[in-house]
Amino acid sequence: MFSSLWSVTAVDPNAPNFHPVTNNKGADDLFGELEPSDTLWLATSSGFVTETQTFYNTMEDGTTIMNQVVHSSVGVWYPTIQYNCKVYNPNTNTRTWRSINVTNFVCPPPGLDKRSSKGDQFSITHKENPGSDYPESYIINANLSDDLQVSFEIKRPASIPGFKVGKGPKGGYSNFGTDPEKPEGYVVHRFWPRNVATGHIIIGGQATPFEGTGMFVHAIQGMRPNLIASRWNFANFQSEEHGGVSAITMEFTTTDTYGRKGAGSGFVTVNVGSLVLGGKLVAVTAETKWPDETKEDAAAVISRAVHVHSVMDEDTGYSAPTELSFRWAGPSVLPGAPGPVDATLSVVVGDPAKYNGLVEKVDILAEIPYVLKAVVNYVAGTKPWMYQWINRATLSVSGPDALIPDLSAGLNIDGWFYNEATFIS
């Protein structure tokens, strides 16, 4: 446990101690289709492991909901489980947020596998319907307070498989430490890049039907969070145009401790993304930027999130973005539609005095489980903050016409864009 609280000194101080998910993978090796074992809960009670299931879904009017289960193991302490739910309506600028400690957590529930879990306050049940248009789904029911309950079915279309970067049981992993076979820590993400959600949200006793699209990610951080990353960017674009379009990004930047030449060579950025066009998964992108490299704009695979302009936010003490740009480029993975796919999106979120589409600035230490907060804050003295926005945005895409007619000439696709920028240190 203590080896994960205080990083271990390598025998060779200049040996590589970070091994990103892109290592030894070419452009055609990035797409790894999810297997049932990939989204099983680890739910470990040993070491320092933070595991999450997170569902982001947005209606056509921009109303967005996040449902998240967090399982935190902190060495010798018993794991804590937290359920987070946030509902935001950009038209009325109303936000409902609940974060509760779950009691009597069970994984798996009787008769189910470890893709399902439950507690006194919630249940998430994974179901399979092979051979159908929606071969798997999650049923979510949560009673979070007297004035917030949610009930959803979230289904994955058969034409949009879940993915990780790289095939096989080691796909998706970035490893920390000099020996990637026996890492000090790791990060892994598994995605559903687009899903369909139906259900109800009950706020203050009033039920509102919900129909929308979104994405799902199962993530595990096998080390203390502030040792893994100094920054995070997350993006989720969803549109109903052209049979369904999505563009997602998950990016983290390591601390200075982990890099290609040991401590002091860090601030390595790892970005993973995907594109869904015409209701089909067409590209998986992943890129690593080492601090001593300059990335080419004409690379075979591009997966990037850039803070184009930033300004100091006195509320948080961080230089927060006022404009961001995102890019996804890579070969089509869809049989029968070969060729490069390229997409860009820019969003102006404004400055801290008057943000556009700000959902919330989240003081993360105020929200995470108490034991995890105590360890992170005491050992590291960090003050992490997360910015959340949702705005209308336009995704500019080009690619083979076999994906969408006239795509080779370029298309502008309008939709809702939810993004997060997180600062840890």
Rg, Å, the chain Cα set: 20
pLDDT tens over the chain, length 425 residues:
334 444 544 468 899 999 999 999 999 999 999 999 999 999 887 788 999 999 999 999 999 999 999 999 876 567 899 999 999 999 999 999 999 999 999 999 999 999 999 999 999 999 999 999 999 999 999 999 999 999 999 999 999 999 999 999 999 999 999 999 999 999 999 999 999 999 999 999 999 999 999 999 999 999 988 899 999 999 999 999 999 999 999 999 999 999 999 999 999 999 999 999 999 999 999 999 999 999 889 899 999 999 999 999 999 999 999 999 999 999 999 999 999 999 999 999 999 989 999 999 999 887 665 555 555 554 456 689 999 999 999 999 999 999 999 999 999 999 999 999 999 98
Tokens of 35: 């297997």
Task: Tell me which residue of 309, 311, 269, 276 sits closest to 291, measured CA to CA.
Answer: 269
3-state SS assignment for residue 254 = coil
- How far apart, in whole angstroms, are the C-alpha atoms of residue 294 and residue 278? 33
From the CB of residue 237, how many other CB atoms can be counted at a distance below 10 Å? 28
Q: What is the pLDDT of residue 1?
A: 37
Q: What is the pLDDT of residue 157?
A: 98
- In the numeric block, the tokens 């598994």 are attached to 190
* Helix (H) or strand (E) segment spanning residue 366: none
Which residues in 117-205 belong to E strands, given as ranges?
Answer: 117-118, 122-128, 136-145, 148-156, 163-165, 173-176, 185-203
Cα 85 from chain centroid?
15
The contacts of residue 314 (CB under 8 Å, 6+ apart) are 352
Domains of the chain: 2-423 (2.40.370.10)
DSSP assignment letter at 7? P
Phi, psi dihedral angles at 372 (to 5 degrees): -65, -45
Cα three-residue angle 383-105-162, rounded to 5 degrees: 75
